[in-house]
Structure 1
Amino acid sequence: MSPVSLLLPRSNIDTPLAKAIFGVSLVFTITSLISTVLRLWAKRINRGRIVTEDYLCITSLILVIGMFICLCLMIGLGGVGHDVSTLPPMDSAYVFQILIGFQTLYCLSVATIKSSLCFFYIRIFAVNRSYRIVAYLVIAFIAAWAILSVLIAFVSCTPFAFTWDPTIAGGHCDNEQGSFVAEAVLDLVADIMVFALPLKPIWQLQINNEKRLVLFAIFGLGISTMIMAILRIVGLYQLNFFTFQTSAVPPLIYSILEPAIGISVACIPLMQPLIKDTWLGKKLAKSGSKHSRPLYNNGNSNNMIRRMKKDENELSLVHPTNVSISGGRGTQSDNEDSESFQHVSNMNGITKTNHVHIARGV
């Protein structure tokens, strides 16, 4: 028995809508898988360790694969992509049962890949405490959205079985369509938040405008997930539960495209070892940056040096290749002792210099 036969028990890919939802979801599931493999391969080349954002990306990929399986079952068992008038009543029960699992996987996959991007930005751009706080607040918003969205799938109808069996006496559903649209709007808000996180740090880099545009283009790929979120809102608004098997096709497609594209977007900035000989790789390798910032501290200078040595702020796709720290003691007055340090990191042609001046009273 072929894999397709296992996923599509009745082989219901015999209408344009069924072919569209199966083909598009298959292609982008494979694309997200390839992107994740290339991400991990690039990590291996750079001898980088697997960190939080990598685990979240892998988790999101697994969930996207689960979404694809759900879509296949919706086509094979629930008749998605077919005129509901040509289907037996049991198909509608199947499709709404599977939809609960699909909705849960969607929320978790979107939340994990967005959180992966946030942790990535924290690691490479968090030069101050306020940036970290903002990024963690975005992660908290994403987590709250995911929990709320999953709950919507389970509490919209009373009793729960009324979700797929409208013959239950006394059962009722709240405004499911309105709940789905509200959830999708909040998802778009989260997309905008994640998209905005790297903009200010990139703008502050002291590089020429051409190279800055290249970086904006890489991190700006997140616009594609925002487009999917907007299209999903439109599809949910136009959804008709009485003709669900056909009217649900667009929002179902956009639902799997959003996390699948998000995975690719999250992986691309980490692929520099694989694209270093391309035009884009050469552009990034030639980018030069001098990012200076004064820091003042009344604590011990050795603590500041340790902080600089453990600094993991990298510019997107690069790892430090050369680090030097120089220091000197300034002249002392009757009431002041001072030390100055210079921390220089050269990251594949991108140089970051931190000047640290520590002054403390006697």
Structure 2
Amino acid sequence: MSSAPDLSPEFLAADVHGKLQDAGIAFIVITTVIYFLFNVSRISCAERNGWEFWVLYPISYFLQLVLGIICILFVQYGGAGRHAQYWLIHDPVVLENFAKIQTADEFIYVAGVTVPKVCILIMYLNIFVERKVRIATWIVIAVVIANWFIIGIIVTFTICQPFAYKWDKSIPGGHCADLLASYRWISIPNILTDLAIIFLPFSTLYRLHTTRVRKIGILLTFLTGGLGIITAILRLVGFFTLDLFSDPTFFGVETQILTLVEPNAYFICSCLPGMRPLVRTVFEKSGLTTAVSRYYHSMRTGSRTTRHDQSGISLEVPRGYYKASVSAPKETRPGSANDDDATLIRMDKSYQVAYSPV
């Protein structure tokens, strides 16, 4: 707590609750819009949806929604934004409400980080066919779930004895472990699993036989799953630079915003790849796909070579090795125009093309 000389009228009048309340409302709106577009994309444009679409994604969205509501509750009932000394003077019960809301927030935060990560990893399983990569993905899923069970349930329930001592310091014989350390180091497992999410697709992508442009596009799609690492690092730094328990209701505004942003970032990242069918459909209907294709084709005409056979058929081939075949229309034997059995498919020519830079 701050010393007595700091309790000036200006100090007690300080109030930054607007930042936390605005952040809560903003992410409720942003997450809802993203989730709505994700559902539109998957239901109307995608060929099929797995069980995770019907189970994990709704749970994940609900958790993000609760985190946004908790930010508002922090302001309305927990006194977030004002200095703790203000509430000690005017209404000490508010500090108890703050600790209760903070306890609920811890449970929701860990679950809110875990579920969207599992969604991203299940997306990997639906894409990867390489055995080693699939095994590694299952291992990461197990680590993510184990982290939630250990930190989100066991540690949260046992860090204070009895459990209610976390908000009621009047309980005789009650004690808590280092709460600030637990808030700080909880981000480390998140960062490590984020790194695994980022690097898992690399080996598969490296072996993928496609153009460099398409590889970059696929890589960017996968990297969206690891963008949560940025918010995890910011949250870790935030808890190291702020002494939360010296003034919980005031400093808690900054740390709670970071605690809100991190799981929401994971959720948004888990939804973005699933929105590709909707984006593709919008592009096709708007005619932008045709325009881009024509532009891309015109840019590449200089790197293609055209070969003509004696029938005047054009074969455009980029550098590399390709197999191509040229077929003629159906040919009917004379005198058997109405006999389907007499219809033949005549293969005029087949080509084995080995086109090199030379």
TM-score (norm 1): 0.70
Could you say which residue in structure 2 is the equivalent of 1:32?
31
Could you say which residue in structure 2 is the equivalent of 1:58?
58
Distance 1:135 1:165, change over 3 A: same
Q: Please say if residues 115 and 139 of structure 1, whose CA atoms lie closer than 8 Å, have aligned partners that are also in contact.
A: yes
Query: Aligned partners of 2:224 and 2:14: how far apart in 1?
Result: 33
Q: Please say if residues 100 and 154 of structure 1, whose CA atoms lie closer than 8 Å, have aligned partners that are also in contact.
A: no
> Deviation per CA, 1:314-336, whole angstroms, max 9, x where unpaired?
xxxxxxxxxxxxxxxxxxxxxxx
Query: Aligned partners of 2:237 and 2:121: how far apart in 1?
Result: 27
Q: Gaps spanning 5+ residues in structure 2: where?
A: 1-12, 297-358
Query: Aligned partners of 1:138 and 1:207: how far apart in 2?
Result: 27
Could you say which residue in structure 2 is the equivalent of 1:305?
none
Task: Tell me the CA shift for residue 282 of structure 1.
Answer: 4.3
Q: Please say if residues 195 and 220 of structure 1, whose CA atoms lie closer than 8 Å, have aligned partners that are also in contact.
A: yes
Percent of counterpart pairs with the same letter?
24
Query: Aligned partners of 1:195 and 1:159: how far apart in 2?
Result: 40
Q: Gaps spanning 5+ residues in structure 1: where?
A: 1-13, 288-362
Question: Pick from 161, 167, 170: which aligns with 1:167?
Answer: 170
Query: Aligned partners of 2:46 and 2:157: how far apart in 1?
Result: 44
Query: Aligned partners of 1:239 and 1:56: how far apart in 2?
Result: 35
Distance 1:102 1:152, change over 3 A: same
Distance 1:202 1:16, change over 3 A: farther
Instruction: Classify the secondary structure of the residue corresponding to 1:192.
Output: helix
Query: Aligned partners of 1:255 and 1:90: how far apart in 2?
Result: 24
Could you say which residue in structure 1 is the equivalent of 2:135?
133
Q: Please say if residues 222 and 265 of structure 1, whose CA atoms lie closer than 8 Å, have aligned partners that are also in contact.
A: yes
How many equivalent pairs are there?
271
Q: For the pair shown, which has the larger CA radius of gyration, 1 or 2?
A: 2
Higher helix proportion, which one?
Answer: 2
Query: Aligned partners of 2:82 and 2:208: how far apart in 1?
Result: 53
1:228 and 2:222 are equivalent in the alignment: no
1:254 and 2:258 are equivalent in the alignment: yes
TM-score (norm 2): 0.70
Task: Give the aligned residue type for 2:269.
Answer: V
Could you say which residue in structure 1 is the equivalent of 2:77?
77
Could you say which residue in structure 2 is the equivalent of 1:275?
279
> Deviation per CA, 1:170-190, whole angstroms, max 9, x where unpaired?
221111111222211111111
Query: Aligned partners of 1:106 and 1:221: how far apart in 2?
Result: 20
Instruction: Classify the secondary structure of the residue corresponding to 2:219.
Output: helix
Q: Please say if residues 53 and 115 of structure 1, whose CA atoms lie closer than 8 Å, have aligned partners that are also in contact.
A: no
Task: Tell me the CA shift for residue 223 of structure 1.
Answer: 4.2
Task: Give the aligned residue type for 2:50.
Answer: V
Task: Tell me the CA shift for residue 57 of structure 1.
Answer: 1.9
Greater mean deviation of Cα atoms: 58-67 or 161-170: 161-170
